[in-house]
Amino acid sequence: MAVQSRRCLDKGQAALHRPVVLHPPPVHLPKWSIGAFCSGFALGVAFASEIRFTLEFQPGAPFQQSIINSIMAPFNLDQLDCSINEIIYPTAWPIGFGGDPDLIDLPTHWVPWDDDIVSTSQYHFYVADLEVYESMAAVATATDNHLSMVPAGVPFDFRMETILIVHQLPLMQLMELAAQSADRIITLERRLGDAEAAIAQIRFHLGI
């Protein structure tokens, strides 16, 4: 099933082949149309806020088959020509991590697309596009929530599994995130001002 985005006009260029960002990008508010976001709910259709997959992979497989980037292929998201980072925010934390972190703390768990898939981490994709999320939900239904990145014929001993959870980011949560980010900036600016005042006072007493 091909996924089309209103922002992606030419499928001939895959965004996932662009240079990988070396530092975690901030969690941006998506360029949504609110009408498009609400369309599913206006029809009385409710979507689960997260989708859980069992992810099967082959450690040591050829590079493009064993990295986080390769997870996009079963969803047909490797065909998008727009930046995948505007649609999906990839994160990971250790298996057994106690609960999900707050949205505002996601940058500390961000992972680059060319990281190897490992069985000691669980992967969480935060999706900021309702159409893409719906298409991923359809893949979950079609595959019984099992994604295999391993070619047929590979022996069982060469296969490993981990967890992939796809999260929907409702508009209200993103608005709350923006408000929290603004509050943090204000707090940091206040602390910086206090620190500068304290340094100035110390310099005055020392005659510097």
In tens, the pLDDT along 112-137 reads 998 999 999 999 999 988 889 999 99
* Domain ranges within the chain, ordered by starting residue: 15-169, 175-208
44 or 113: which leads in pLDDT: 113
Pairing of strands 50-57, 88-94: unpaired
Closest CA to 129 of 168, 164, 83: 168
Q: Which of 35-39, 65-69, 158-162, 177-181 has the lowest mean pLDDT?
A: 35-39
Q: How far apart are CA 201 and CA 198, in angstroms?
A: 5
0.85 exceeded by the pTM?
no
Contact 85, 21 (CB under 8 A): yes
Could you tell me what percent of the chain has a pLDDT over 90? 29
Q: Is the pLDDT of residue 87 over 70?
A: yes
Tokens 């900021």, residue located: 128
Q: Is the pLDDT of residue 10 over 70?
A: no
From residue 152, alpha-carbon distances to 63, 64, 155, 159, 208 in Å are 18, 16, 9, 11, 73
Contact 77, 132 (CB under 8 A): yes
Q: Is the pLDDT of residue 185 over 80?
A: no
Confidence label for 53 from pLDDT (cuts 50, 70 and 90): very high
